[in-house]
Amino acid sequence: MHVAIIMDGNGRWARERGLPRSAGHRAGADVVRTIVETAAAERVDVLTLYAFSSDNWSRPAREVSALMRLLGHYLEREVEGCRENGVRLNVIGRRDRLGPELQGAIERAERRTAACRRLLLRLAVDYSARDAIVMAAAGLGNGPTDRAAFERRLAEVTHSVQSVGAVDLLIRTGGELRLSDFLLWECAYAELVFSPTYWPDYTAREFRAALAAFRARDRRFGGLSTRDRPRALAV
């Protein structure tokens, strides 16, 4: 099962407390650990978290550098715990605009956890789904292609360690109802769960409730519900 999360609401969480936005991101980074642990316990195979979109470069330089530092620290602080718990780390998105220290931290974290198989944790950093689709399409050439081949290209151009395929469940916290250029191809048939909770307040309990809601849904992928399917087709 592939779960993706848009971790929104850090800024509003901080503002309501009279704190700088970076304090909201720091509080948000602490929640990441809880949600990763819960995902592993709930047998999620792939968890993709939207940590920094390509459009986030337009934020004030101070906020951008605070977020970049936070990501580097997160990778360095969590890498051994991830390794011990079977969590493979992977950063997807563009790497060429990241600072050399962060690039180094990413490479070390990916190398150190490369053999882990319990959960693949993908952090999307300098990520834009539209840019990824354009880059993947540009590299295909004129030969025949299919969705699987396109997905392999998408994985390559975004530095994904494997072609993880479709998102099953997309969660967005913070009350906004939009996709914000996140995994647009992969979310074709994703089930969507929107939560009003700001990300720093998001809990394992609410995450489990989203997983339970997902499991109760009737996924049809454009076909018939299992309830309405003729018996002969159901076997």
> Which one, 145 or 203, has the nearer CB to ligand FPP?
203
> Which one, 8 or 126, has the nearer CB to ligand FPP?
8
Q: Please provide residue 73's backbone torsions phi and psi, each rounded to the nearest 5 degrees.
A: -65, -40
- CB of 151: closest distance to ligand FPP in angstroms? 24
Burial of 170 (0-12, 13-18, 19+ CB in 10 A): buried
Please, are residues 37 and 68 in contact by the beta-carbon 8 Å criterion? no
- d(CA 111, CA 226) in angstroms, rounded, equals 43
> Which one, 177 or 216, has the nearer CB to ligand FPP?
177
Catalytic residue among 45, 56, 85, 201: 56
- CB of 92: closest distance to ligand FPP in angstroms? 12
Per the annotation, the verdict on 56 as an active-site residue is: yes
Per the annotation, the verdict on 8 as an active-site residue is: yes
**3-class SS of residue 52:** strand
- CB of 112: closest distance to ligand FPP in angstroms? 17
- CB of 111: closest distance to ligand FPP in angstroms? 18
Q: Please provide residue 52's backbone torsions phi and psi, each rounded to the nearest 5 degrees.
A: -160, 115
- d(CA 102, CA 193) in angstroms, rounded, equals 31
Pairing of strands 119-127, 169-172: unpaired
> Which one, 2 or 25, has the nearer CB to ligand FPP?
25
Residues lying near ligand FPP in the complex (CB under 6 A) are found at 7-12, 21, 25, 28-29, 32, 49, 51, 56, 70-71, 74, 123, 174, 199
Residue numbers annotated as active site:
8, 56
